[in-house]
Amino acid sequence: MEDNNKFMFKAIELSIKSAETKGGPFGCVIVKDNKIISEGSNKVTSTNDPTAHAEIVAIREASNKLNTFNLAGCEIYTTCEPCPMCLSAIYWSHIDRIFYANTRDDAKNIDFDDSFIYSEVMKSMEERKIQMKQMLRGDALKAFKIWDEKVDKIKY
C-alpha cells in the first residue's frame, strides 16, 4: 500500500472511531519524514472546546511534540476538506501540503457549517451574519507600534 494511502486510512480509522463514540466524524494525522507525528479527531463536544476540530487537535499535538510553532516539513492528512478555521491554522503553522478526502459539500450534507462559514468569510463585514463593529483603533495601534519597534521579537 502506498504511504499516503496508509496515512489517510489511519485518519479515516480515527474519524470512524470518533463518530462511533463521542466526537464529530472527522480524523486527521500529521506526517513528517514519512512518519506520523500526531493524530487528531474531533473533540468539540467531548472537551467543550469549539476550536477542537481534528486538524487543530493534531496541529497542537505536533507543535507540542516537536517543540516549535512552525510545522514546515510536515504534511496533513484529513478526512474532510479543512474548514476555514483549520485551513487558516494550517497556513499559520506552515504545513507543506494537505491531503483530504470528503468535501465541504459532503460535510454540508450531514449538517455541518463548513460551507456556510466559507461563504461568510468571503463576504464583506457589512454582509456577514455576525455583526462586526470597529472601535478605538487609535488606542489599539499602540501595541502594534511596540511590536514594530521591538528588536528581539520572535516572528511567527
34 conformational bin, left if phi > 0, alpha if psi -120 to 50, beta if neither: left
Q: Which of 5, 30, 33, 127 binds its own copies (CB under 8 A)?
A: 5
Q: Which of 1, 35, 139, 151 binds its own copies (CB under 8 A)?
A: 139
Burial of 93 (0-12, 13-18, 19+ CB in 10 A): buried
Interaction with its own copies in 18-37: which residues (CB under 8 A)? 18-20, 22, 24-27
CB of 33 to its own copies, least distance (A): 18
Q: Which of 32, 38, 63, 74 binds its own copies (CB under 8 A)?
A: 63
**Whose Cβ is closer to its own copies: residue 22's or residue 37's?**
22
CB of 75 within 8 A of CB of 97? Answer: yes
Q: Exactly one of 2, 20, 39, 55 is catalytic; which is it?
A: 55
Active site includes 126?
no
CB of 121 within 8 A of CB of 84? Answer: yes
